[in-house]
Chain A
Amino acid sequence: MSKQTALYQEHVDAGGKIVDFAGWQLPINYGSQIREHNAVREGCGVFDVSHMTVIDVTGSEAIDFLRVVLANDVEKLERAGEALYSAMLNERAGIIDDLIAYRRESGYRIVVNAATRAKVVDWLAGVVPRFDVALSERPELAMLAVQGPKAIATVVSLFDAPDIAELPAFNALELGAAMIARTGYTGEDGVEIILPGDDAIALWRRLLAADVAPCGLGARDTLRLEAGLNLYGQDMSDANHPLESNLAWTIDWSDEERGFLGRDALSAIKADGAERKLTGLILDGKGVIRTGAKVVTDAGEGVVTSGIFSPTLGYSIALARLPRSAKGDVQVELRGSLASARLQRPPFVRKGKSLVKG
Protein backbone atom coordinates (compact mmCIF):
# COMPACT_ATOMS: atom_id res chain seq x y z
CA MET A 1 0.00 0.00 0.00
CA SER A 2 1.61 3.27 -1.00
CA LYS A 3 1.94 6.04 1.55
CA GLN A 4 0.52 9.55 1.66
CA THR A 5 2.35 12.65 2.79
CA ALA A 6 0.78 15.12 5.23
CA LEU A 7 -0.20 17.17 2.16
CA TYR A 8 -2.06 14.45 0.27
CA GLN A 9 -5.48 16.05 0.65
CA GLU A 10 -4.04 19.43 -0.35
CA HIS A 11 -2.81 17.89 -3.62
CA VAL A 12 -6.22 16.40 -4.35
CA ASP A 13 -7.91 19.71 -3.54
CA ALA A 14 -5.50 21.59 -5.85
CA GLY A 15 -6.41 19.25 -8.75
CA GLY A 16 -3.24 17.14 -8.55
CA LYS A 17 -3.09 14.03 -10.71
CA ILE A 18 -1.86 11.44 -8.23
CA VAL A 19 0.62 8.72 -9.20
CA ASP A 20 2.69 6.20 -7.28
CA PHE A 21 6.29 7.33 -6.88
CA ALA A 22 8.74 5.24 -4.85
CA GLY A 23 5.84 3.93 -2.76
CA TRP A 24 4.27 7.36 -2.22
CA GLN A 25 1.09 8.86 -3.64
CA LEU A 26 2.25 12.14 -5.11
CA PRO A 27 1.01 14.54 -7.82
CA ILE A 28 2.61 14.21 -11.27
CA ASN A 29 1.05 17.57 -12.19
CA TYR A 30 -1.88 19.84 -11.36
CA GLY A 31 -3.04 20.21 -14.97
CA SER A 32 0.02 21.24 -16.98
CA GLN A 33 3.57 20.17 -16.27
CA ILE A 34 4.97 22.82 -18.61
CA ARG A 35 3.04 25.62 -16.94
CA GLU A 36 4.39 24.48 -13.56
CA HIS A 37 7.91 24.30 -14.97
CA ASN A 38 7.65 27.85 -16.30
CA ALA A 39 6.22 29.12 -13.01
CA VAL A 40 9.44 28.02 -11.28
CA ARG A 41 11.71 29.51 -13.97
CA GLU A 42 9.80 32.82 -14.00
CA GLY A 43 8.14 33.23 -10.62
CA CYS A 44 7.69 30.78 -7.80
CA GLY A 45 6.50 27.22 -7.35
CA VAL A 46 6.14 24.83 -4.42
CA PHE A 47 6.80 21.09 -4.40
CA ASP A 48 5.84 18.59 -1.71
CA VAL A 49 9.02 16.58 -1.18
CA SER A 50 7.93 15.03 2.11
CA HIS A 51 8.66 11.58 0.71
CA MET A 52 12.38 12.31 1.17
CA THR A 53 13.91 10.55 4.18
CA VAL A 54 15.17 12.78 7.01
CA ILE A 55 17.67 11.18 9.40
CA ASP A 56 19.23 12.97 12.39
CA VAL A 57 22.75 11.88 13.33
CA THR A 58 23.83 12.55 16.92
CA GLY A 59 26.43 11.31 19.40
CA SER A 60 30.00 12.25 20.24
CA GLU A 61 31.32 10.58 17.07
CA ALA A 62 28.66 11.79 14.62
CA ILE A 63 31.30 13.61 12.61
CA ASP A 64 33.63 10.60 12.51
CA PHE A 65 30.76 8.40 11.39
CA LEU A 66 29.79 10.74 8.53
CA ARG A 67 33.43 11.15 7.46
CA VAL A 68 33.44 7.38 6.88
CA VAL A 69 30.04 6.88 5.21
CA LEU A 70 30.15 9.96 2.94
CA ALA A 71 32.53 10.54 0.03
CA ASN A 72 32.39 14.30 0.58
CA ASP A 73 33.87 15.54 3.86
CA VAL A 74 31.61 17.04 6.54
CA GLU A 75 34.78 18.31 8.24
CA LYS A 76 34.44 21.38 6.03
CA LEU A 77 31.08 22.31 7.57
CA GLU A 78 32.46 24.81 10.05
CA ARG A 79 29.26 26.12 11.61
CA ALA A 80 25.75 24.95 12.38
CA GLY A 81 23.60 25.53 9.30
CA GLU A 82 26.25 24.75 6.71
CA ALA A 83 25.41 21.95 4.29
CA LEU A 84 26.99 19.88 1.55
CA TYR A 85 25.96 17.45 -1.17
CA SER A 86 27.54 14.00 -1.07
CA ALA A 87 27.42 10.51 -2.48
CA MET A 88 27.33 7.51 -0.18
CA LEU A 89 29.39 4.66 -1.63
CA ASN A 90 29.64 0.92 -1.11
CA GLU A 91 33.02 -0.89 -0.90
CA ARG A 92 33.14 -1.15 -4.72
CA ALA A 93 32.55 2.62 -4.99
CA GLY A 94 29.02 2.03 -6.31
CA ILE A 95 26.65 4.85 -5.38
CA ILE A 96 24.23 3.74 -2.65
CA ASP A 97 22.54 7.14 -2.62
CA ASP A 98 23.09 10.86 -2.95
CA LEU A 99 22.12 13.22 -0.15
CA ILE A 100 22.50 16.56 1.56
CA ALA A 101 24.14 16.69 4.99
CA TYR A 102 23.44 19.69 7.28
CA ARG A 103 25.50 20.54 10.35
CA ARG A 104 23.28 21.43 13.33
CA GLU A 105 23.93 22.92 16.77
CA SER A 106 24.17 19.37 17.99
CA GLY A 107 25.00 16.70 15.42
CA TYR A 108 23.94 16.53 11.77
CA ARG A 109 20.88 15.95 9.63
CA ILE A 110 20.99 14.02 6.37
CA VAL A 111 18.22 13.97 3.76
CA VAL A 112 18.29 10.91 1.51
CA ASN A 113 16.00 9.68 -1.27
CA ALA A 114 12.64 7.99 -0.73
CA ALA A 115 13.21 5.02 -3.04
CA THR A 116 16.49 4.15 -1.30
CA ARG A 117 15.27 4.51 2.27
CA ALA A 118 15.36 0.85 3.37
CA LYS A 119 18.70 0.19 1.67
CA VAL A 120 20.34 3.27 3.18
CA VAL A 121 19.00 2.62 6.68
CA ASP A 122 20.35 -0.98 6.51
CA TRP A 123 23.71 0.16 5.19
CA LEU A 124 24.13 2.82 7.87
CA ALA A 125 23.02 0.40 10.60
CA GLY A 126 25.94 -1.81 9.59
CA VAL A 127 28.42 1.00 10.23
CA VAL A 128 26.84 2.49 13.37
CA PRO A 129 28.33 -0.07 15.84
CA ARG A 130 31.84 1.21 15.08
CA PHE A 131 31.00 4.66 16.48
CA ASP A 132 29.36 6.46 19.37
CA VAL A 133 26.54 7.62 17.15
CA ALA A 134 22.74 7.41 17.08
CA LEU A 135 20.50 7.68 14.02
CA SER A 136 16.94 8.80 14.27
CA GLU A 137 14.53 8.91 11.36
CA ARG A 138 12.05 11.78 11.39
CA PRO A 139 9.00 10.52 9.47
CA GLU A 140 6.79 13.08 11.25
CA LEU A 141 8.56 15.87 9.35
CA ALA A 142 7.26 17.10 6.02
CA MET A 143 9.32 18.96 3.45
CA LEU A 144 8.38 21.70 1.00
CA ALA A 145 10.64 23.05 -1.74
CA VAL A 146 9.81 26.67 -2.64
CA GLN A 147 11.73 27.51 -5.80
CA GLY A 148 12.01 30.28 -8.36
CA PRO A 149 13.27 33.87 -8.72
CA LYS A 150 10.47 35.10 -6.43
CA ALA A 151 10.83 32.29 -3.86
CA ILE A 152 13.02 34.10 -1.35
CA ALA A 153 10.89 37.24 -1.22
CA THR A 154 7.78 35.10 -0.77
CA VAL A 155 9.23 32.99 2.03
CA VAL A 156 10.73 36.00 3.82
CA SER A 157 7.32 37.65 3.96
CA LEU A 158 5.44 34.51 5.04
CA PHE A 159 7.89 33.69 7.84
CA ASP A 160 8.51 37.36 8.63
CA ALA A 161 12.19 36.37 8.77
CA PRO A 162 14.52 38.68 6.80
CA ASP A 163 17.45 36.42 7.80
CA ILE A 164 16.32 33.99 5.10
CA ALA A 165 17.29 36.52 2.41
CA GLU A 166 20.83 36.64 3.84
CA LEU A 167 21.32 32.86 3.83
CA PRO A 168 24.11 31.84 1.47
CA ALA A 169 23.52 28.89 -0.86
CA PHE A 170 23.83 25.55 0.92
CA ASN A 171 23.16 27.12 4.31
CA ALA A 172 20.21 26.57 6.60
CA LEU A 173 18.68 28.21 9.63
CA GLU A 174 16.31 26.76 12.18
CA LEU A 175 13.22 28.73 13.20
CA GLY A 176 11.38 26.88 15.97
CA ALA A 177 10.53 23.44 14.59
CA ALA A 178 11.33 24.42 10.99
CA MET A 179 14.65 24.10 9.17
CA ILE A 180 14.91 26.41 6.18
CA ALA A 181 17.75 25.64 3.76
CA ARG A 182 18.86 27.54 0.67
CA THR A 183 18.98 24.42 -1.44
CA GLY A 184 16.90 22.94 -4.22
CA TYR A 185 16.66 20.69 -7.25
CA THR A 186 15.63 23.15 -9.94
CA GLY A 187 18.59 25.39 -10.86
CA GLU A 188 16.71 28.38 -9.42
CA ASP A 189 17.10 30.26 -6.18
CA GLY A 190 14.86 29.03 -3.40
CA VAL A 191 14.59 27.10 -0.19
CA GLU A 192 13.72 23.67 1.07
CA ILE A 193 11.80 23.75 4.33
CA ILE A 194 11.66 20.77 6.69
CA LEU A 195 8.83 21.15 9.23
CA PRO A 196 6.14 19.22 11.12
CA GLY A 197 3.27 17.95 8.96
CA ASP A 198 0.58 20.25 10.37
CA ASP A 199 2.80 23.28 9.92
CA ALA A 200 3.48 22.16 6.36
CA ILE A 201 -0.24 22.13 5.57
CA ALA A 202 -0.61 25.68 6.94
CA LEU A 203 2.44 26.87 4.99
CA TRP A 204 1.23 25.17 1.79
CA ARG A 205 -2.10 27.01 2.04
CA ARG A 206 -0.41 30.35 2.64
CA LEU A 207 1.92 29.80 -0.31
CA LEU A 208 -0.98 28.98 -2.64
CA ALA A 209 -2.89 31.99 -1.32
CA ALA A 210 0.20 34.07 -2.23
CA ASP A 211 -0.12 32.80 -5.85
CA VAL A 212 2.75 30.33 -5.62
CA ALA A 213 2.13 27.56 -8.17
CA PRO A 214 1.77 24.01 -6.85
CA CYS A 215 4.18 21.88 -8.89
CA GLY A 216 4.28 18.12 -9.40
CA LEU A 217 6.86 15.44 -10.04
CA GLY A 218 6.76 16.05 -13.80
CA ALA A 219 7.99 19.64 -13.52
CA ARG A 220 10.46 18.59 -10.84
CA ASP A 221 12.02 16.19 -13.35
CA THR A 222 12.31 18.65 -16.25
CA LEU A 223 13.66 21.40 -13.97
CA ARG A 224 16.34 19.19 -12.42
CA LEU A 225 17.42 17.82 -15.79
CA GLU A 226 17.77 21.30 -17.28
CA ALA A 227 19.83 22.13 -14.18
CA GLY A 228 22.05 19.12 -14.90
CA LEU A 229 21.21 17.40 -11.61
CA ASN A 230 21.21 13.62 -11.44
CA LEU A 231 18.21 11.57 -10.40
CA TYR A 232 19.16 8.57 -8.30
CA GLY A 233 17.91 5.29 -9.78
CA GLN A 234 17.95 6.77 -13.26
CA ASP A 235 21.23 8.60 -13.92
CA MET A 236 23.14 6.64 -11.30
CA SER A 237 22.71 3.59 -9.10
CA ASP A 238 24.72 1.02 -7.13
CA ALA A 239 26.12 -0.09 -10.50
CA ASN A 240 27.78 3.32 -11.11
CA HIS A 241 30.67 5.08 -9.44
CA PRO A 242 30.84 8.87 -9.03
CA LEU A 243 33.55 9.36 -11.67
CA GLU A 244 31.18 8.10 -14.39
CA SER A 245 28.25 10.03 -12.90
CA ASN A 246 29.47 13.63 -13.24
CA LEU A 247 30.11 13.66 -9.48
CA ALA A 248 33.93 13.82 -9.32
CA TRP A 249 33.53 17.28 -7.75
CA THR A 250 31.75 15.79 -4.74
CA ILE A 251 34.60 13.48 -3.75
CA ASP A 252 36.87 15.00 -1.12
CA TRP A 253 40.29 13.36 -1.36
CA SER A 254 42.12 16.08 0.61
CA ASP A 255 42.54 14.28 3.94
CA GLU A 256 44.59 11.25 2.99
CA GLU A 257 43.98 9.71 6.40
CA ARG A 258 40.20 9.70 5.89
CA GLY A 259 39.18 6.17 4.95
CA PHE A 260 35.69 6.83 3.58
CA LEU A 261 33.87 3.72 2.40
CA GLY A 262 34.57 3.06 -1.26
CA ARG A 263 37.75 5.16 -1.24
CA ASP A 264 40.15 2.32 -2.16
CA ALA A 265 38.01 1.12 -5.05
CA LEU A 266 37.43 4.67 -6.30
CA SER A 267 41.15 5.45 -6.06
CA ALA A 268 41.93 2.49 -8.29
CA ILE A 269 39.29 3.58 -10.81
CA LYS A 270 40.68 7.11 -10.75
CA ALA A 271 44.23 5.86 -11.35
CA ASP A 272 43.13 3.88 -14.42
CA GLY A 273 40.74 6.58 -15.61
CA ALA A 274 36.98 6.03 -15.72
CA GLU A 275 35.84 4.25 -18.88
CA ARG A 276 32.60 6.17 -19.15
CA LYS A 277 31.24 9.59 -18.34
CA LEU A 278 27.83 11.09 -17.71
CA THR A 279 27.25 14.12 -19.87
CA GLY A 280 24.54 16.03 -21.68
CA LEU A 281 22.95 15.74 -25.13
CA ILE A 282 21.03 18.23 -27.22
CA LEU A 283 18.78 17.05 -30.04
CA ASP A 284 19.26 19.03 -33.25
CA GLY A 285 15.82 18.42 -34.73
CA LYS A 286 12.30 17.71 -33.59
CA GLY A 287 11.27 14.87 -31.33
CA VAL A 288 12.02 13.92 -27.77
CA ILE A 289 14.99 11.87 -26.59
CA ARG A 290 13.57 9.21 -24.28
CA THR A 291 15.19 7.56 -21.29
CA GLY A 292 16.95 4.32 -22.28
CA ALA A 293 17.64 5.31 -25.90
CA LYS A 294 20.88 4.13 -27.47
CA VAL A 295 23.57 6.71 -28.31
CA VAL A 296 26.11 6.06 -31.08
CA THR A 297 29.43 7.95 -30.86
CA ASP A 298 32.82 7.69 -32.60
CA ALA A 299 34.15 6.17 -29.39
CA GLY A 300 31.43 3.51 -29.08
CA GLU A 301 27.88 3.21 -27.85
CA GLY A 302 26.25 4.70 -24.80
CA VAL A 303 22.80 5.08 -23.31
CA VAL A 304 20.43 7.91 -22.40
CA THR A 305 19.85 7.86 -18.63
CA SER A 306 17.23 10.67 -18.66
CA GLY A 307 15.68 12.36 -21.68
CA ILE A 308 13.07 15.10 -21.79
CA PHE A 309 11.61 17.92 -23.81
CA SER A 310 13.09 21.04 -22.22
CA PRO A 311 10.32 23.61 -21.75
CA THR A 312 12.84 26.43 -21.18
CA LEU A 313 14.91 25.70 -24.29
CA GLY A 314 12.12 24.48 -26.55
CA TYR A 315 13.89 21.30 -27.66
CA SER A 316 14.90 17.94 -26.31
CA ILE A 317 17.85 17.44 -23.96
CA ALA A 318 19.18 14.42 -22.11
CA LEU A 319 21.77 13.04 -19.78
CA ALA A 320 23.66 10.07 -21.22
CA ARG A 321 26.39 7.71 -20.07
CA LEU A 322 28.94 7.54 -22.89
CA PRO A 323 32.46 6.29 -23.56
CA ARG A 324 34.89 8.71 -21.92
CA SER A 325 36.44 9.96 -25.15
CA ALA A 326 33.13 10.60 -26.93
CA LYS A 327 32.86 14.16 -28.16
CA GLY A 328 31.21 16.46 -30.65
CA ASP A 329 28.37 15.14 -32.76
CA VAL A 330 26.65 11.86 -31.93
CA GLN A 331 23.54 9.99 -32.97
CA VAL A 332 20.69 9.04 -30.71
CA GLU A 333 17.93 6.52 -31.26
CA LEU A 334 14.61 8.24 -31.76
CA ARG A 335 11.53 6.10 -32.39
CA GLY A 336 13.54 3.35 -34.02
CA SER A 337 15.87 5.43 -36.21
CA LEU A 338 18.98 7.48 -35.50
CA ALA A 339 18.87 11.27 -35.20
CA SER A 340 21.76 13.69 -34.85
CA ALA A 341 22.55 15.22 -31.48
CA ARG A 342 25.52 16.99 -29.93
CA LEU A 343 27.23 16.80 -26.60
CA GLN A 344 26.69 19.59 -24.12
CA ARG A 345 28.20 19.70 -20.68
CA PRO A 346 25.39 20.07 -18.14
CA PRO A 347 23.84 22.19 -16.72
CA PHE A 348 21.70 23.36 -19.64
CA VAL A 349 19.83 26.09 -17.75
CA ARG A 350 20.60 28.05 -14.63
CA LYS A 351 18.57 30.84 -13.05
CA GLY A 352 16.25 31.02 -16.02
CA LYS A 353 19.06 31.41 -18.59
CA SER A 354 20.21 28.99 -21.26
CA LEU A 355 23.84 27.86 -20.92
CA VAL A 356 23.80 26.21 -24.34
CA LYS A 357 26.25 27.74 -26.78
CA GLY A 358 25.58 28.28 -30.46
Chain B
Amino acid sequence: MSEIPTELRYASSHEWARLEEDGSVTVGISDHAQDALGDVVYVELPEVGSQVAGGQEAGVVESVKAASDIYAPVGGTVVAVNSELEDAPETVNEDPYHNGWFFRIEPDNADDLSQLLDADGYAESCEADAH
Protein backbone atom coordinates (compact mmCIF):
# COMPACT_ATOMS: atom_id res chain seq x y z
CA MET B 1 0.00 0.00 0.00
CA SER B 2 1.37 3.40 -0.89
CA GLU B 3 2.09 6.12 1.61
CA ILE B 4 -0.27 9.15 1.73
CA PRO B 5 0.84 11.65 4.40
CA THR B 6 -2.11 13.34 6.08
CA GLU B 7 -0.48 16.78 6.34
CA LEU B 8 -0.46 17.22 2.54
CA ARG B 9 -3.10 18.11 -0.05
CA TYR B 10 -3.47 16.22 -3.33
CA ALA B 11 -4.74 16.56 -6.88
CA SER B 12 -6.50 13.59 -8.48
CA SER B 13 -3.76 13.80 -11.15
CA HIS B 14 -1.37 12.55 -8.39
CA GLU B 15 0.52 15.71 -7.39
CA TRP B 16 0.87 16.59 -3.72
CA ALA B 17 0.99 20.16 -2.38
CA ARG B 18 2.45 21.37 0.92
CA LEU B 19 1.82 24.83 2.36
CA GLU B 20 5.13 26.23 3.65
CA GLU B 21 5.49 28.72 6.52
CA ASP B 22 6.24 31.56 4.08
CA GLY B 23 2.96 30.95 2.24
CA SER B 24 4.50 29.23 -0.77
CA VAL B 25 3.34 25.80 -1.92
CA THR B 26 5.75 22.94 -2.63
CA VAL B 27 4.66 20.43 -5.26
CA GLY B 28 5.71 16.85 -6.00
CA ILE B 29 4.17 13.57 -7.09
CA SER B 30 2.68 10.99 -4.75
CA ASP B 31 4.19 7.68 -3.71
CA HIS B 32 1.37 6.00 -5.64
CA ALA B 33 2.35 7.96 -8.79
CA GLN B 34 6.07 7.18 -8.59
CA ASP B 35 5.28 3.50 -8.04
CA ALA B 36 2.96 3.42 -11.05
CA LEU B 37 5.51 5.21 -13.25
CA GLY B 38 8.46 3.00 -12.32
CA ASP B 39 12.04 4.31 -12.34
CA VAL B 40 12.07 8.02 -13.18
CA VAL B 41 14.76 8.92 -15.74
CA TYR B 42 14.06 12.59 -16.60
CA VAL B 43 12.22 15.47 -15.00
CA GLU B 44 11.38 18.63 -16.90
CA LEU B 45 10.69 21.58 -14.59
CA PRO B 46 9.14 25.00 -15.17
CA GLU B 47 11.33 28.09 -15.16
CA VAL B 48 11.68 30.06 -11.95
CA GLY B 49 9.61 33.23 -12.34
CA SER B 50 7.16 31.69 -14.79
CA GLN B 51 3.40 31.83 -14.25
CA VAL B 52 1.49 28.58 -13.97
CA ALA B 53 -2.27 28.17 -13.97
CA GLY B 54 -3.99 25.80 -11.55
CA GLY B 55 -4.66 22.46 -13.22
CA GLN B 56 -2.38 23.27 -16.16
CA GLU B 57 0.83 21.54 -17.25
CA ALA B 58 3.90 22.79 -15.44
CA GLY B 59 6.41 20.01 -16.12
CA VAL B 60 7.00 16.50 -17.34
CA VAL B 61 8.20 13.36 -15.62
CA GLU B 62 9.58 10.55 -17.77
CA SER B 63 10.04 7.06 -16.45
CA VAL B 64 11.26 3.83 -17.98
CA LYS B 65 7.61 3.21 -18.82
CA ALA B 66 6.02 6.48 -19.93
CA ALA B 67 6.06 10.28 -19.96
CA SER B 68 3.50 12.10 -17.81
CA ASP B 69 2.60 15.75 -17.49
CA ILE B 70 2.89 17.36 -14.08
CA TYR B 71 0.03 19.74 -13.38
CA ALA B 72 0.26 22.73 -11.07
CA PRO B 73 -2.24 22.01 -8.28
CA VAL B 74 -2.66 25.75 -7.68
CA GLY B 75 -2.02 28.76 -9.91
CA GLY B 76 0.76 31.24 -9.19
CA THR B 77 4.40 32.14 -9.77
CA VAL B 78 7.15 29.52 -9.72
CA VAL B 79 9.62 30.65 -7.04
CA ALA B 80 11.93 27.62 -6.88
CA VAL B 81 12.62 24.34 -8.69
CA ASN B 82 14.42 21.23 -7.49
CA SER B 83 17.34 21.29 -9.92
CA GLU B 84 18.94 18.31 -8.15
CA LEU B 85 16.42 16.11 -9.94
CA GLU B 86 18.33 16.82 -13.15
CA ASP B 87 21.26 14.68 -12.05
CA ALA B 88 19.37 12.41 -9.68
CA PRO B 89 15.87 11.78 -11.07
CA GLU B 90 15.71 8.55 -9.04
CA THR B 91 15.16 10.76 -5.96
CA VAL B 92 11.52 10.99 -7.10
CA ASN B 93 11.21 7.23 -6.56
CA GLU B 94 13.28 7.11 -3.40
CA ASP B 95 11.80 10.03 -1.52
CA PRO B 96 8.70 11.36 -3.29
CA TYR B 97 7.45 13.54 -0.41
CA HIS B 98 10.70 15.24 0.61
CA ASN B 99 13.91 15.33 -1.45
CA GLY B 100 11.92 14.37 -4.55
CA TRP B 101 9.91 17.64 -4.67
CA PHE B 102 9.52 19.30 -8.10
CA PHE B 103 8.84 23.04 -7.71
CA ARG B 104 7.49 25.68 -5.37
CA ILE B 105 4.72 28.14 -6.24
CA GLU B 106 3.79 31.49 -4.73
CA PRO B 107 0.03 31.00 -5.07
CA ASP B 108 -2.17 33.75 -6.55
CA ASN B 109 -4.86 32.73 -4.13
CA ALA B 110 -3.92 30.88 -0.94
CA ASP B 111 -7.46 29.54 -0.62
CA ASP B 112 -6.98 27.43 -3.75
CA LEU B 113 -5.15 24.89 -1.61
CA SER B 114 -8.34 24.07 0.28
CA GLN B 115 -9.96 23.04 -3.03
CA LEU B 116 -7.54 20.10 -3.25
CA LEU B 117 -8.15 16.61 -1.87
CA ASP B 118 -7.12 15.65 1.63
CA ALA B 119 -5.35 12.31 2.25
CA ASP B 120 -8.61 10.36 2.57
CA GLY B 121 -10.05 11.96 -0.53
CA TYR B 122 -6.90 11.16 -2.49
CA ALA B 123 -6.89 7.54 -1.27
CA GLU B 124 -10.49 7.22 -2.48
CA SER B 125 -9.56 8.79 -5.81
CA CYS B 126 -6.72 6.26 -6.29
CA GLU B 127 -9.07 3.47 -5.31
CA ALA B 128 -11.61 4.65 -7.90
CA ASP B 129 -8.87 4.75 -10.58
CA ALA B 130 -8.06 1.13 -9.88
CA HIS B 131 -11.60 0.00 -10.80
Contacts and interface: CB of A to CB of B under 8 A. Distances in A.
A335 to B, nearest CB: 6
B67 A218 contact: no
Interface stretch (A27-35, A52-60, A132-140, A318-326): A27-35
Contacts of A335: 60, 67
A218 B38 contact: yes
Interface in A74-120: none
A33 B39 contact: yes
B67 to A, nearest CB: 6
A29 B64 CA distance: 11
Chain A interface residue bracket vs B: 10 to 19
Interface residues of B, number: 13
A290 interface: yes
B42 A34 contact: no
Interface string A289-313: 0100000000000000000110000
Interface in A1-56: 28-29, 32-34
B42 A286 contact: yes
A309 B44 contact: no
A222 B42 contact: no
Given A218-B64, A309-B62, A288 B38 contact: no
B62 A288 contact: yes
Contacts of B38: 28-29, 33, 218
A28 B65 CA distance: 11
A309 B89 CA distance: 13
Contacts of B62: 287-288, 309
B41 to A, nearest CB: 4
Contact of B90 (A34, A286, A290): A34
Nearest to B67: A335
A29 B62 CA distance: 17
B30 interface: no
Interface in B48-91: 60, 62, 64-67, 90
B24 interface: no
A32 B37 CA distance: 11
Interface in B90-113: 90, 93
A180 B107 CA distance: 63
A341 B93 CA distance: 28
A34 B44 contact: no
Contacts of B39: 32-34
Contacts of B67: 287-288, 290, 335
B42 A287 contact: yes
Nearest to B69: A335
A290 B65 CA distance: 9
Nearest to A222: B64
Contacts of A28: 38
Given A29-B38, A33-B39, A34-B90, A286 B64 contact: no
Given A28-B38, A309-B64, A335-B60, 10 more contacts: A32-B39, A32-B93, A33-B39, A34-B64, A218-B64, A218-B65, A287-B62, A288-B41, A288-B62, A309-B41
Interface of A: 28-29, 32-34, 218, 222, 286-288, 290, 308-309, 335
5 contacts: A286-B42, A288-B62, A290-B66, A290-B67, A309-B64
